[in-house]
Structure 1
Amino acid sequence: MIVYRLSRGKFKNDLSGRGAELAGGRWNSKGVAVLYTSESIALCTVEIAVHMPLGIVPADYHLIQIEVPDDAPLLELSSGDLPADWKTFPHANSTQEIGDAFVLGGEYLVYKVPSATVQGTYNYLLNPRHPGFRDVRITTTTPFEFDKRLFVKES
């Protein structure tokens, strides 16, 4: 399986999940490392855009293509298992608890979760603690330039 992420150049080869561990996110609490990836380049772009203030175009980003073994243990979060507040902004503790349980449980390498930003698409959380994580590899990194129209303020 191929997944994607956008990362600042300084961190383009870092798959540790340390950034998410330091900051926390929709699917993890601070202190829990997880690597956020997306099913497509377009979804990665939107996921970055929703976290940037209007008028600021992200600079020094790289597109990272990551290969996850096809036989990696994968858990899919079904729509019936989503808490009512799963898409709220700021994100809810309920989703962090779900993601933390995935990481700390250690049974699965990959967690397929719905994107809160683009309906019908999915992000893939990778568990750096899982023994199979050693088989996850970067296949390519390329500089990525965002379309400025995504970040301009309307006049």
Structure 2
Amino acid sequence: MIVYRLSRSRFAKDLSGKGAELAGGRWNSKGTAMLYTSDSIALCTVEVAVHMPLGIVPLDYQLIQLELPDEIPIAELPESELPEDWQTFPHSNATQLIGDAFIQEQETMVLKVPSAAVQGTYNYLINPRHPQFSKLTIVAVTPFEFDKRLFVK
């Protein structure tokens, strides 16, 4: 399975989850490393756009295509099992607790979660400290330009 992520060029090949560990996110608390990926390039684009101030076009980004081997099990978190406030902005602490538990339990390397930004699409959270993490491979890294219309004030 191929998953995607968008990253500034200098971090394109860094799969450590350090950025999420430093900043925290919807699915992880500060101090918990996690690699956020998406099921499509379009969803990656929206996920970056919703975190950028209007009028600022992200520059110097790379699209990273990652391959998850078929033998790697993927845990799935259905929307019906999520807390009511899972889509709120700013994000809920409840979703961070779910993601932190996923990382700590180490049952699977990948957790499929619904996107809060685009209904019907999914993000794939990857545990960079899981024993199977070395099986994840970078397929391609290519320059990516955002459509400026996404960031118009």
Question: How many residue pairs get matched?
Answer: 153
Deviation at residue 129 of structure 1 after TM alignment: 1.3
SS of the residue aligned with 1:131? coil
- Quick one: distance in 2 between partners of 1:90 and 1:138? 31
- Quick one: distance in 1 between partners of 2:9 and 2:80? 38
Corresponding residue for residue 45 of structure 1: 45
Deviation at residue 74 of structure 1 after TM alignment: 1.2
Q: TM-score, normalised by structure 1?
A: 0.98
The question of 1:6 aligning with 2:6 is answered yes
Q: Structure 2 matches for 1:2-81, cutoff 5 A?
A: 2-81=2-81
The amino acid that maps onto 1:63 is L
Structure 2: state its 5+ residue gaps. none
Corresponding residue for residue 123 of structure 1: 123
SS of the residue aligned with 1:99? helix
- Quick one: distance in 1 between partners of 2:62 and 2:5? 8
Task: Assess if the C-alpha contact under 8 Å between 1:39 and 1:124 holds in 2.
Answer: yes
SS of the residue aligned with 2:146? coil
Q: Deviation string for 1:8-44 (max 9, x for gaps)?
A: 0000000000000000000000000000000000000
Structure 1: state its 5+ residue gaps. none
Q: Deviation string for 1:43-77 (max 9, x for gaps)?
A: 00000000000000000000000011111121100
Deviation at residue 79 of structure 1 after TM alignment: 1.9
SS of the residue aligned with 1:94? helix
Pairwise CA RMSD of aligned residues?
Answer: 0.5
